[in-house]
Amino acid sequence: MDTAKYINLFVSETREHLVSLNQALLALEKKPDESSQLDEIFRSMHTIKGMAASIGLDFIADLTHKGEDLLDKMRRRQTAAASEEIDLIFLVLDFLEEAVGLVAAGKQPDESLNQRCRELVGQIEGLTAVTQETEPVKVSSNGGSDFKRINPLKTDNSHVFKIRILLEQDVSLKSARAFLILHTLERIGRVAYTVPERHDLESEKFDRGFTIFLVTDQEDQEELRNDISCADVEDIQIEEVREESAEEALERKTIGAFVQLAQEKAKDVKVSVARLDSLMNLVGELVVWRERLKQLAVQNGDPAIQDGVDKIAQIASDLQQEVLTARLVPMSEVLDRFPRVVRDAAKGLGKEIDFTVEGRELEMDRAILQMLSEPVIHLLRNAVDHGIELPHQRKQAGKSQVGSITLTAQKQKDQVLIKVVDDGKGFDLERIRRKVIDNGYLTAGRAAELTDQQLYEYLLLPGFSTADKVSELSGRGVGLDVVKRRIEEMGGSFAMESRPGQGSVFSITVPLSLAIIRTLLISAGDQTYAVPITQVKEITNIKQKALKTLHGKRLLQFRNRVIPVVRLASVIGLSPETDIGEGPALIVDRQGSELALLFDTMIGQQEIVVKPLSRFVKGIKTFSGATIGREGHPMLILDLNNIAI
C-alpha cells in the first residue's frame, strides 16, 4: 500500500467527517430524541474507524470502535440521548481532531495522547458496561478489532475457525452456493463474520473465494470439512484462530474501507492545495505578461499581432477564472465548525446563547477562508465572553435570558462582508475612555472629545484591553489588534460598532479571491503606484480654494463633507508634507472614513498579481504588497488603510 497517499486521504476524509459529526451532534443536543442524527453520527464514526484501522492507526480505530458501541447502545435504547453521553462524544471528537492533526503532521502519538485515548475509552466503557454482556454480536462489517466481537460468543469449549472457501471456476449461482455453505455452518455454530461481508456474498459481489469466521463447539476440523463440502467447491481451508493475524486484518480492512472510499470518491479528484497554489502563481505570471504583451502589440500596430494577442488575452482571462473557481470552497467548510466553538465557550461560562449562521453556501478562496478562521473564532469567543451577559444579568436588563450571536457572510462585489453580531452589553465606552487616560494616551480633556468611533480605535492598539482579568476564553494575549492585523494582511479591513446595552457588530471585509485585484495606477514623480479599485470612490480635481487647515491638518471641503487630504508625493517622501497644492485626487474609502489622495498623473487601470512584501520591508505601513508593472518593473501597492494622515 502507498501509505502516504492513504494518510492524506485519511486526514482529509476524517476532517470532513468530523465537521459533519460536530454538526449532527449539535443537532442531537438540541433534539436529543431525534434518532436520525444518531444514525449519521454512527456512520461517520464507523467510516473513520475503518480508515484508521486500515492504515494502522489502532488507537483511533479502538476509540472509534468504542464510540460505535456507545452510539449503538443509544440507538437501540430508543430513548433520548443523555447529556453526559453527548458531552463524552464531543470529547471524543475533540480528541480525534487533535489526533488527525498529529497524523497530518507526520508525528507519532506520544504517551500523553495515548493516555488520554485510554481514558476516553475507559469513560465510554463506563457508560456502555451495563448492556455489554447481553448485547448480541452483530454480523460484522469492515474495520476494527473484530476478533473482540467474536470473544463474547466464545465459551471455554468453543473454537474459532477461519474457513476459506474457493469455488470452482465458472460456477453458476455463486450466491446460492455461499448461502448453502453459511446455512450449513449456522447449524454447526455461529457465523461471526464473513469476508466479503455477508450482504456482498448474497448479492454475488465476490469472485471465487470467501472467508467465514465461525464460532463452534465442534473441535474436529475434518468433520467440519465434511459438513461444509458440497458441489462446486474446489477447495476448503480451515484453520483455528486465536487472535486475528495482522495479515488478515489488513486484507479485510483493505477490502472494506478503501474500496468503498475509492467508489465514493470516483467522481471527484482531490488536488492538493499546494498544486492549486502553484497553478495560481503561474496564472498570475501569465496575467502580468498578458498586460505587457497587450501594450507591445499596441505599440507595434500590426493588426494581425494585435488580433493574436487579444485571443491569447481572452484565453488567459478564462484560464484565470477557471483557476480562481477551482480554488473556491463553500464557506460552510469553516463556518460549520463555529457552532461548536460557541457552544463550548457558552457552556464553560454558564451562558445561554442562540447562535445562527447565515451565508454558508457562499464560495470563497480556500486560502482566504483558512486565514479567516482564526480571527472569526476570536471574535466569536469575544462575543460569548465579553458581549453576552449571564442569564440573570440579561433578565435584570429586561432582555431575553438567551443571548443571540449571529454570524453572516455576504458577497459584495468581489469582496465578502462577514459580520459577527451579538445582543450583549456592548462596549463600555466610559471604561475605554478611562483607560485611555489612565494609560497616558490622552489627557482627560482630550479624551472627553473623542467620538465613539475614535474610542474604538484604541481597542485596536496592541495590549489595550478592557477585560480586567485574563479569561480562559478570549484573554490569551490575543486581542482585537491581532484580529485587525490578520485581516489587513489578507488585504481586508476590520470595523466595529457598538451600542451600550444593546450589543456590538464586528465587520470583516476580505477579498473573495486572493492574489489578483483590479487597480488604478497613479504616479508621483517618476514612480507608479497601484491602488485597489474597490477602495476608490471617486476621481476629482482639487482646487486650492477648497482646501482648509484645522489643527495643523489639511482638510478638503468636498460635497458638504470635510475630508482629510494628503499628497502622494509627500506620503512617499518626495515633497514636504505641507505642500499640498492643486491637482487630480482620488477620494478613497478607508473602512468607513474617507481620504483624498492627490497625485500627479493617472496612468490607467490594470489587473495585478499581488506579491507579498519581503519581511524586511513588511514594517512599512504605507504599502500592502508589490507587483510587476506593464514594463516589467516592480511596482508598489498602496495600503490606503494605513497611510498616515
Partner 1 sequence: MSRRVLVVDDAIFMRTMISDILKKGEFEVCGEGATGAEAVDQYQKLKPDLVIMDIIMPDMGGIEAVKAIMQLDPNARILMCSAMGQQALVVEAIQAGARDFVVKPFQPSRVLEAAQRALK
- Residues lying near partner 1 in the complex (CB under 8 A): 171-173, 175-176, 179-180, 183, 204, 226, 229-232
Measured from the Cβ of residue 123, the count of other Cβ atoms closer than 10 Å reads: 17
Least separation in angstroms between CB 367 and partner 1: 54
Least separation in angstroms between CB 270 and partner 1: 39
Of 43 and 174, which has the nearer Cβ to partner 1?
174
Of 33 and 204, which has the nearer Cβ to partner 1?
204
Least separation in angstroms between CB 137 and partner 1: 23
Least separation in angstroms between CB 165 and partner 1: 14
Of 82 and 176, which has the nearer Cβ to partner 1?
176
How far, in Å, CA of 365 to CA of 513, rounded? 5
Least separation in angstroms between CB 186 and partner 1: 11
Of 113 and 180, which has the nearer Cβ to partner 1?
180
Least separation in angstroms between CB 199 and partner 1: 14
Of 234 and 322, which has the nearer Cβ to partner 1?
234
Cα separations in angstroms, 259 against 29, 48, 242, 264, 339: 33, 14, 27, 9, 33
Least separation in angstroms between CB 246 and partner 1: 35
Least separation in angstroms between CB 515 and partner 1: 59
What b-and-e string marks burial along 541-570, b requiring 16 or more CB atoms within 10 Å of the CB? ebeeebbeeeeeebbbebeeeebbbbbbbb
Q: Specify burial of residue 469 (Cβ count, 10 A radius: 0-12, 13-18, 19+).
A: exposed
How far, in Å, CA of 204 to CA of 172, rounded? 10
Least separation in angstroms between CB 223 and partner 1: 11
Q: Strands 353-358 and 403-412: what pairing?
A: parallel
How far, in Å, CA of 228 to CA of 179, rounded? 11
CB-CB contact of 444 with 437 (8 Å): yes
- Rounded to 5 degrees, what are φ and ψ at 516? -110, 125
- C-alpha cell of residue 495: 470595523
Of 175 and 408, which has the nearer Cβ to partner 1?
175
Residues near 485 by Cβ (< 8 Å), separated by ≥ 6? none
- C-alpha cell of residue 558: 468636498
| Cis peptide bond prior to 196, omega within 30° of 0 | yes
Least separation in angstroms between CB 226 and partner 1: 6
Hey, is 549 helix, strand or coil? strand
Torsion of CA 490, 633, 307, 320, to 10 degrees: -20
Q: Strands 415-422 and 503-511: what pairing?
A: antiparallel
Residues near 373 by Cβ (< 8 Å), separated by ≥ 6? 334, 337
Of 173 and 470, which has the nearer Cβ to partner 1?
173
Of 11 and 180, which has the nearer Cβ to partner 1?
180
Measured from the Cβ of residue 390, the count of other Cβ atoms closer than 10 Å reads: 14
Of 98 and 234, which has the nearer Cβ to partner 1?
234
Of 110 and 170, which has the nearer Cβ to partner 1?
170
